[in-house]
Amino acid sequence: MVESLGSRASACRSSTVAVLSVLLLAGCVQSAEEADANGNSNRKAEEDVSMRELTPEEEAVIVHKGTERPFSGEYYDHHEAGAYVCRRCGTPLYESDDKFDSGCGWPSFDDELPGAVKRLPDADGRRTEILCATCGAHLGHVFEGERMTVNNVRHCVNSISLEFVPAEEGVEDAAREGGVESGVEGTDDGADRARDERGDATGRAYFAGGCFWGVEHLLQEVDGVSEVRSGYMGGQTEEPTYHDVTSGRTGHAETVEVVYDPARVTFKELARLFFEIHDPTQVDGQGPDRGSQYRSAVFYVDDPQKLAAEELIGILKEKGYDVATEVTAAGPFWEAEDYHQDYYERSGGSPYCHTRQKRF
């Protein structure tokens, strides 16, 4: 979504190889006309979005643009740390850090996740309606100039349009302390970690290929892969949040960490798959997601990984692909917020931008 550093878009929320064999050849959808003036793009064409079935109460607000009674909703007086996602499609919309008590009886936020919320003149001719930019769900209205917070903006959102995903900070904090060097990822894979510390049995690979939701989803079920996590790598700041990374200013790329058993699957096999589930020729973007945070990259952890990646790129170039993938030494891996992990498993959808295309 941002052209500042190089370019890239908003994070993807994502999730394999049983699936891969079924996937058809289909590149990412190029839809530049969906990008707004800030370079933000709708994450998916609305018809591609996997949407939950709604209860009549949800439908009255989300589809028919009704308004829940003030002080009646689940979240107007809700203060846990986490993210608020679209009730219908699961896209992250707001973070708890941006929530404030406005006294109006509806959840109020003075900022949104970049590109997540669309504004339209309301049918009443006075107000500005806000909708989920991904699926068009009615959220509520946005008001400016009330001076309630420094940002001077109030997103007044129906609770019923939202679903809260807790941050589970303990896990996240632990994860954030771990870089590549420490090998500690804050998860409960004690066995893997123990094996890792001995330096055998577990391999790690880091790939960036656009919205991490899709890359994670497709690598997850490869035989021999025990874990895939979404996160950020390749930037200049510590502990970046999704919000930071989507700004395009930290230099990070949405990256997946693949933990695998080298006896069952090799780095090269994983890298080949990586080159076939994203478009390695697209510069600073993937499908509709534009910006350096969506760039294509292999972050290698040792020389054999570097050589394997370069060899595969050489093969692709011989076949006429103008490969844009950068091959760079891995830096710290910052695990993404919980609401980005296993996105497609949780939402029941399928990647909008990642399908397998045979290239080798």
The least CB distance from residue 21 to Zn ion, in Å, is 30
Q: Count residues contacting Zn ion (CB under 5 A)? A: 8
The least CB distance from residue 343 to Zn ion, in Å, is 13
Residue 228 identity: V
The least CB distance from residue 336 to Zn ion, in Å, is 19
**Of 28, 86, 132, 211, catalytic:** 211
Q: Which helix (H) or strand (E) holds 85?
A: strand 82-86
* Residue range at the interface with Zn ion (CB under 5 A); choices 13-21, 82-90, 235-243, 299-307: 82-90
The least CB distance from residue 89 to Zn ion, in Å, is 3
Q: Tell me if 113 contacts Zn ion by CB under 5 A.
A: no
Q: Tell me if 130 contacts Zn ion by CB under 5 A.
A: no
Distance CA 142, CA 126 (A): 11
The smaller minimum CB distance to Zn ion, of residues 86 and 316, is found at: 86
* Residue range at the interface with Zn ion (CB under 5 A); choices 125-133, 193-201, 263-271, 283-291: 125-133
* Residue located via tokens 């892969």: 225
Task: Using alpha carbons only, give the angle 295, 298, 303 rounded to the nearest 5 degrees.
Answer: 155
Burial status of residue 353 (CB atoms within 10 A of its CB: 0-12, 13-18, 19 or more)? buried
The smaller minimum CB distance to Zn ion, of residues 2 and 116, is found at: 116
Q: Residue 275 — φ and ψ, nearest 5°?
A: -70, -15
Q: What does the block give as tokens for 107?
A: 């959840």
Please check whether residue 5 is in contact with residue 251, taking contact to mean a CB–CB distance below 8 angstroms: yes
The smaller minimum CB distance to Zn ion, of residues 65 and 306, is found at: 65
Candidate list 134, 158, 230, 293; residue touching Zn ion; CB under 5 A: 134
SS3 content of the chain, % helix, strand, coil (to 5): 25, 25, 50
Candidate list 2, 23, 132, 316; residue touching Zn ion; CB under 5 A: 132
The least CB distance from residue 206 to Zn ion, in Å, is 30
Candidate list 1, 17, 86, 139; residue touching Zn ion; CB under 5 A: 86
The smaller minimum CB distance to Zn ion, of residues 86 and 175, is found at: 86
The smaller minimum CB distance to Zn ion, of residues 137 and 167, is found at: 137
The least CB distance from residue 337 to Zn ion, in Å, is 18
Distance CA 141, CA 106 (A): 11
Q: Is 132 an active-site residue?
A: no
What character string, x for contact with Zn ion (CB under 5 A) and - otherwise, covers 28-67? ----------------------------------------
Q: Is 211 an active-site residue?
A: yes
Q: Which helix (H) or strand (E) holds 61?
A: helix 56-62
Q: Tell me if 137 contacts Zn ion by CB under 5 A.
A: yes
* Residue range at the interface with Zn ion (CB under 5 A); choices 66-74, 86-94, 121-129, 194-202: 86-94
Q: Tell me if 135 contacts Zn ion by CB under 5 A.
A: yes
Q: Tell me if 89 contacts Zn ion by CB under 5 A.
A: yes
SS3 56: helix
The least CB distance from residue 347 to Zn ion, in Å, is 10
Burial status of residue 26 (CB atoms within 10 A of its CB: 0-12, 13-18, 19 or more)? exposed
- Residue 85 bridge partners (DSSP): 92, 163
* Residue range at the interface with Zn ion (CB under 5 A); choices 22-30, 85-93, 233-241, 309-317: 85-93
Burial status of residue 22 (CB atoms within 10 A of its CB: 0-12, 13-18, 19 or more)? exposed
Nearest to 114 by CA among 251, 249, 257: 249
Nearest to 285 by CA among 10, 26, 34, 38: 10
Crossing angle of helices 267-277 and 212-220, rounded to 10°? 130
Q: Which residues make up the interface to Zn ion (CB under 5 A)? A: 86, 88-89, 91, 132, 134-135, 137
Active-site residues, by number, are 156, 211
